[in-house]
Amino acid sequence: MNFLHTMVRVKDLDASLKFYCDLLGLVEIKRKESEKGRFTLVFLAAPGQLEQAKETFSPTIELTYNWDTEDYTGGRNFGHLAFAVDNIYSLCEKIQRAGVTINRPPRCGHMAFIQSPDGISIELLQKDEPLPPQEPWLSMPNTGSW
């Protein structure tokens, strides 16, 4: 058995692509538009797994944008997406500068949580060893839920 992808329904495809690609650094590897089905599928991969994803389309995140307006309510039963990152502090700083709330700051130098424009929880984990704790993250409180 192989893990293939996680599908996330998105309300605003442009905002979601900005978040996942511009802020998190994922790369679009495939797009399918269906006029008859009235939807767009966009498959994204992490840069470190790009070659594998281009060959097998896994592991990927499938953003599903339904053209007709529909409100999606998230359930905590979904859980979250998780990514290993090169420098959790610099990524959280970039994300915060873009106006995204850091729901669980990386106080320990190892883990943080943010949310996508559609309220999907994203866990960021420092690759290898945790970074030494530092401000402003060390004294930053949690915000909201994840």
Report the catalytic residues.
123
What residue spans of the chain are helical by DSSP H? 13-17, 50-56, 88-97
- Beta-carbon-side half-sphere exposure of residue 137 (alpha carbons within 13 Å): 23
Tokens of 12: 């605003």
Q: Give CA–CA dist 101/14, Å, rounded.
A: 19
